[in-house]
Amino acid sequence: MGNPKQKWTAEVEQALKDGVAKHGNGKWKCIKKDPQFHVHLSNRANIDLKYHYLLHTHDKWRNMSTAAIQGSSTRIRTPKPKLAQDASAPAVSLQTPPILSVTPEPPINHVVKEEPAKDVPDAKICSRSNNDTTEMIFESLSLAKEQNGMDIGSIISYIEQRVTNETLQNFRKQLVAKLRRLVLQGKLEKVEGAAFEDGRTPSIFDTFAHSGRTPGNANVTVDQYHKYKEDVELMAETGLDAYRFSISWSTLIPNGRGPVNPKGLEYYNNLIDALVSKGIQPHVILVHSDAPQMLEDEYGGFISPKIIDDFVAYADVCFREFGNRVLHWTTINEANIFVIGGYDTGDSPPCRCSFPFGRNCTTGNSTTEPYLAGHHLLLAHASATRLYKEKYHGKQRGVVGFSLYAFDFIPFTNTEVDVIAAQRSYDYFIGWFMQPLVHGEYPLVMRTNAGTRLPVFTRNETELIKGSFDFIGLNYYTVFRVKDNSISLTKEPRDFMADHASTWQYINDMIPFEGHPFLNTPWGLQGVLEHFKQVYGNPPIVIHENGQISDHSGDYNTILNDQSRVEYLQAHIGALLDAVRNGSNAKGYFVWSFIDVYEIIFGTKYTFGLY
């Protein structure tokens, strides 16, 4: 049989030889013609043409003042071509008129420029007649991996070490980038990796990812920790204006409080400096379902008021060390989803719940902890915001926001009970946090239904929380139809889900998972923005996430040619523009996501990346 490693090495070498012999230096040209725009692409035969179509042929998009693309340490890698007539447009700013900023995952190594119409062949979509060199080798290496059990990380290292000829550098870059897509084992929507390096300690997401609830783990992801220079170069080549990522609390302050980790500090300084040097605006999230596991073990994390002081101390370090370059801060990502999934159903970190409301939890109380965690989360956010305003804003002039997951809720029928149930769902899912942030108290329906299980703000806390944001980040994907379920209020005990006394259904009873794309409901985004305008005084809003899911178990080329995603994003960008024209105070838009990442529910099988 021979040595498996020797067999694997031989396959790698043969694949490289075959690829180089067949396709030379790997530089190919591809022309795409469109009635409105001509794109010339070089160095990538399999470039994702949907991206260029979206950015260059969508009138509504091109009319916006700028287009910034961002990723997220939550997902990273961003290339975007600059808009031809907008080359000097400013980056996303909450002090400027409404703009759209895209946050797609990065295309690999593409160059875009306008070509004279006469030189462009009459083809809607172009492709090479022969297989892409990197595609062929990619398939060969994947087969070698399956047959011999070699991990992708080893293959990447081999390629990087052995393919050194200057003529093959671009080819190597493409191949390694493709291979790295298979190493998406990262925490939540993050790409940082380095889970056990340079003094970093586990977060609650690491614990979740290693629990077997989701395929893979949080150890590697796409390894931005080591590849940030390459990532930023890709962003710059794409023309990125903004990049959204999260800082890992347990990387920067391994014990959750106390000494700062110099290695972690160095990494984030390097990443931010690299972004700024390329004219890419950093948008930073402080907590993305990844609070330190040490604090969770010590006092229960967000179910304890102790988290407030520790979070403020962590935020202080971030503001002090990075605030001279970072002007856009989000304290908590998807606060409502984080609390419901983490403390009621137990489906996400820190996986606390109680029977019969949650599943597979070893500790927790679904009837009280969601309200308790949400309460402390609001106080932590408001306290950190006050710190920034008092200590840093005068010099740094940045903004601090808060992020929520947003569905549009519509009545299942036109009956009065369903209409009221839809409004009640908005109050519970959105008003839970927005009502305190705008008015200083929880919605009346929550105070009524939850009773003493819902904490009460003191007078000082009300003053602290009220108005404690410069913008609201919204993550929007789809719409729910709502039925009244008031009978749930007669049952004891009750959790958060029973307290809102309604049931939610996807449009046409389709579930946008397990192979189904997120339903294309751009009108729902308009509904959400109209709700914020009417109910909460039209606050500044940035769409932090919006995108369509893909099944990555299929053919690679089929995955790339995802026309439905083009239509989804095009429709939502248009809907956002319509909302702005109708008076919405929307300031920016980020696509989810720039590159495929490890998703909290699906691992890497179902992903959102443009690349």
| Active-site annotation holds for 599 | no
28 close to 42: Cβ distance less than 8 angstroms: yes
Q: Which of 105, 70, 102 is nearest to 86 (CA)?
A: 102
502 close to 485: Cβ distance less than 8 angstroms: yes
From the candidates 135, 192, 296, 334, which is the catalytic residue?
334
The 10 Å Cβ neighbour count of residue 180 is: 22
Which tokens hold the place of 27?
Answer: 């530089």
For residue 224, give the amino acid letter.
Q
At 518, phi and psi to the nearest 5? -55, 135
E strand residue ranges, 415-501: 471-484
Taking the CA atoms of 223, 227, 232 and 237 in sequence, report the sign of the dihedral they define: negative
* Peptide bond connecting 356 to the previous residue in cis, omega within 30 degrees of 0: yes
Q: How many Å apart are CA 56 and CA 345, to the nearest integer?
A: 43
Q: How many Å apart are CA 171 and CA 325, to the nearest integer?
A: 34
Taking the CA atoms of 361, 367, 369 and 373 in sequence, report the sign of the dihedral they define: positive
Identify the bridge partners of residue 243 per DSSP, sorted by sequence position.
282
Which tokens hold the place of 503?
Answer: 């049931």
Q: How many Å apart are CA 308 and CA 232, to the nearest integer?
A: 34
| Active-site annotation holds for 334 | yes
Do the bridges between strand 502-506 and strand 541-545 make them parallel or antiparallel, or are there none, so unpaired? Answer: unpaired
Q: Which residues contact 87 (CB under 8 A, 6 or more apart)?
A: none
355 close to 439: Cβ distance less than 8 angstroms: no
**Which secondary structure element, helix H or strand E, spans residue 471, and what is its range?**
strand 471-484
Q: How many Å apart are CA 434 and CA 408, to the nearest integer?
A: 15
Q: Which residues contact 113 (CB under 8 A, 6 or more apart)?
A: 39, 40
E strand residue ranges, 190-327: 242-246, 281-287
At 184, phi and psi to the nearest 5? -75, 85
Q: How many Å apart are CA 338 and CA 331, to the nearest integer?
A: 13
- Secondary structure class of 465 (helix, strand, coil): helix
Q: What does the angle CA 16 – CA 21 – CA 25 come to, to the nearest 5 degrees? A: 85
**Which secondary structure element, helix H or strand E, spans residue 572, and what is its range?**
helix 563-581
From the candidates 11, 296, 369, 545, which is the catalytic residue?
545
For residue 244, give Cα distances in angstroms to 65, 76, 190, 278, 333.
19, 8, 11, 15, 11
Q: Which of 173, 168, 178, 169 is nearest to 23 (CA)?
A: 168
Identify the bridge partners of residue 72 per DSSP, sorted by sequence position.
75
The 10 Å Cβ neighbour count of residue 508 is: 7
589 close to 101: Cβ distance less than 8 angstroms: yes
Residues that are catalytic:
334, 545
